[in-house]
Chains A and B, each alone.
Chain A
């Protein structure tokens, strides 16, 4: 009897509240203007805790909230939720809507081109877009990454610790977003060779002929077996550091390299953090700083630059980087504590500065 009354009361209370409308309290304003500006994310199906792109973007949104912006986000349930989710955010008064993931392109482009949304700044994480005449819509910002800069640093580092002086890379599929990593990898190895006068062999990618090792299966980015066998094949050709650019497929590579006591370089985010079990083999990761990109894009739109250009993450603006080498994880320090010398770190820093100031051009080095 008691529980029934309780249940009844709770239902009534909830109903009353539901009819009474929103009781959300306005967030404390850090900066007056920002509290009137709503920054929003349309996340893909992974959601805010996917340990990948969505999470990185979401962390950027959290930072924006701390800066004083109003924020909101949606998570897709499946492909059919992209359009309604973006519309939901527009209806909720978002000033800036950033969609994460290539799948949202069609829905996002539709919204950006809708005249009713001309005053909303749209962003697209990890992709750029231009109309047929080559212009970028004025309320649109493509967010892409000059990731070859980071991969070049990672390759330099890899060449430095390699005992066989053979390093390797492979991709999930020959998409531009994938081969860009591999270009940087080759560039870093060649740069190291010319600096040190030591021959470095790179397996898996030839930037000039544009041929290399890719996963022919129908699940190129989700095929740990391919990752494992490819790593074993590379090791058979004496490679001792492998840079897998293939999503989850790379986990197979990390496993194989770890089993053999050899090394790997991660992709997209600091995989030593997202995949701690492989921290002992992950020298570093070529990292896209999606959170930083989201923060930059929103702030830029807030300041009135609605779009019409692409945001390209570089070493210079902090949009790309290699994962920190000042680590405390015991798995990492046990393997790399002595291998990554202070001298090597300093050389990497010098290369980074050279890339930023333009004296080293990644693509030129790749094709040398």
Chain B
């Protein structure tokens, strides 16, 4: 009971934040609809009910796109094991999870840096370089060159090396010459994208034949990550399991190991960490290496598994969304996983919303941003809802 209560109090703010964000999103859907706005003066009630109807339709699609359509689930249940129907019924929730995998990895990666007080916004670049490492490993060792499990292991190792190496640069620069990691990591994000462009347009080894486009060969022909669901049409592979194990490992590292203790101390109060004999430079470099390694691992697994190709845009929006995920999850591994899942649900649900209602996908990015804004400012959320269980400030100024 007590545990339940504790859990309840932990997820109260995020849950409220998501609700309020959806609510504000609904208002936006209603009041950006041309027809609603057009009718607002002549027939306000009609226009508003039209708007509310539209928002309801949109959210219905969002819900079904994220979790699954009850109708399809009903059909699947009634079908007595028709894999096609089951695939159809479960695909939304499965795809939502697939969409959350890169966010879990990069969210965990940047969280380790944030915990150490380093604002690593190079998640995108480290993820990209991890994807480069994974792609190269797949091309080198896949397609029967080494046994499949070894090839997968090598994909992961190369991904870790790629991401860690990319993160080492800003870490070293910050530790040794005090270069701001914000600037160096942003620049390295760009460079990573351009580096991929260079690779996939100049090397026959990598570029997809007939070599007229800057994309890599199709990687599933080299390494195929095993799926974990009994229905082959549901493409959830082992990367989600590795993501969850990584989350556990990060949690263990941060809160149980002495290294993690050092990093957290440095992150919360660098002056006190120095006072306690913790080397700031070592902490920074260690944190960046771990941070980059995790993002890189994600990049390798997602490029080889879910995307099956390497292209310059692979880092895309992952880096910045993952920062939101990390902050939304309070840089706590469990929080990061939960927030990434929510974002995955929103993202995949959003694509059905766009299909059914033509509400642009940007609406979902907007809702995601609101979720983060409300999580970051719980007072705002509580203020909007005038929550009756409003937490009391524990103490006041002197």
A interface residue numbers (CB < 8 A to B): 1, 3-4, 7, 10-11, 13-14, 16-24, 40, 45, 47-48, 72-75, 77-85, 87-89, 91-92, 102-103, 105-107, 109-110, 116, 127, 173, 175-177, 218-219
Additional A-B contact list (11), CB under 8 Å, known A24-B356, A77-B316, A175-B212: A20-B60, A47-B360, A47-B361, A77-B317, A77-B361, A78-B318, A81-B99, A88-B348, A102-B213, A105-B309, A177-B212
- The interface residues of chain B lying within 8 Å CB-to-CB of A80 are 98-99, 102, 302, 306-307, 316, 318
* CB atoms of B59 and A14 under 8 A apart: yes
- The interface residues of chain B lying within 8 Å CB-to-CB of A1 are 386
Interface of B is mostly: helix
Residue of B nearest to A82 (CB): B307
Residue of A nearest to B88 (CB): A91
Inter-chain CA distance A116–B63, complex, in Å, is 26
* CB atoms of B19 and A11 under 8 A apart: yes
Inter-chain CA distance A225–B57, complex, in Å, is 47
Contact with A along B194-222 (1 / 0, CB 8 A): 11011001000000100011110010100
Q: Which of A17, A110, A127, A175 contacts B60 (CB 8 A)?
A: A17
Contact with A along B310-342 (1 / 0, CB 8 A): 010111111000000000000000000000000
* CB atoms of B307 and A218 under 8 A apart: no
Q: Is B43 an interface residue, CB under 8 A from the partner?
A: no
Inter-chain CA distance A73–B302, complex, in Å, is 24
* CB atoms of B57 and A23 under 8 A apart: yes
Q: A102-B213, A103-B313 are in contact. Are A173 and B201 (CB under 8 A)?
A: yes
Q: A14-B26, A78-B318 are in contact. Are A73 and B313 (CB under 8 A)?
A: no
CB of B331 to closest CB in A, whole Å: 23
Q: Which of A18, A45, A83, A218 contacts B56 (CB 8 A)?
A: A18
* CB atoms of B385 and A74 under 8 A apart: no
* CB atoms of A110 and B308 under 8 A apart: yes
Residue of A nearest to B210 (CB): A176
- The interface residues of chain B lying within 8 Å CB-to-CB of A13 are 52, 56
Q: Is B351 an interface residue, CB under 8 A from the partner?
A: yes
* CB atoms of A75 and B360 under 8 A apart: yes
- The interface residues of chain B lying within 8 Å CB-to-CB of A105 are 208, 213, 215, 309
Inter-chain CA distance A111–B52, complex, in Å, is 36
* CB atoms of A47 and B362 under 8 A apart: yes
* CB atoms of B357 and A24 under 8 A apart: yes
Q: Is B8 an interface residue, CB under 8 A from the partner?
A: no
B interface residue numbers (CB < 8 A to A): 19, 22-23, 26, 52-53, 55-57, 59-65, 70-71, 84, 88, 91, 95, 98-99, 102, 194-195, 197-198, 201, 208, 212-215, 218, 220, 233, 235, 302, 306-309, 311, 313-318, 347-348, 351-352, 354-358, 360-362, 365, 384-386
Q: A47-B360, A73-B355, A173-B201 are in contact. Are A17 and B59 (CB under 8 A)?
A: yes
* CB atoms of B314 and A78 under 8 A apart: yes
- The interface residues of chain B lying within 8 Å CB-to-CB of A7 are 23, 384-385
Provide a sorted-by-A list of 19 A–B residue pairs whose CB atoms are within 8 angstroms: A4-B385, A7-B23, A7-B385, A20-B60, A21-B60, A22-B57, A22-B64, A73-B354, A78-B316, A80-B98, A80-B99, A80-B316, A82-B307, A85-B351, A87-B91, A88-B95, A88-B348, A88-B351, A106-B308
Inter-chain CA distance A116–B231, complex, in Å, is 14
- The interface residues of chain B lying within 8 Å CB-to-CB of A72 are 354-356, 358
Q: Which of B59, B198, B309 contacts A106 (CB 8 A)?
A: B309
Q: Which of B208, B316, B354 contacts A79 (CB 8 A)?
A: B316
Inter-chain CA distance A40–B233, complex, in Å, is 21
Inter-chain CA distance A178–B317, complex, in Å, is 28
* CB atoms of A79 and B314 under 8 A apart: yes
- The interface residues of chain A lying within 8 Å CB-to-CB of B356 are 22, 24, 72, 92
Residue of B nearest to A77 (CB): B317
CB of B389 to closest CB in A, whole Å: 13
CB of B300 to closest CB in A, whole Å: 13
Q: Which of B60, B198, B302, B355 contacts A74 (CB 8 A)?
A: B355
Residue of B nearest to A103 (CB): B311
CB of B323 to closest CB in A, whole Å: 14
* CB atoms of B361 and A79 under 8 A apart: no
Inter-chain CA distance A219–B195, complex, in Å, is 9
Inter-chain CA distance A81–B313, complex, in Å, is 12
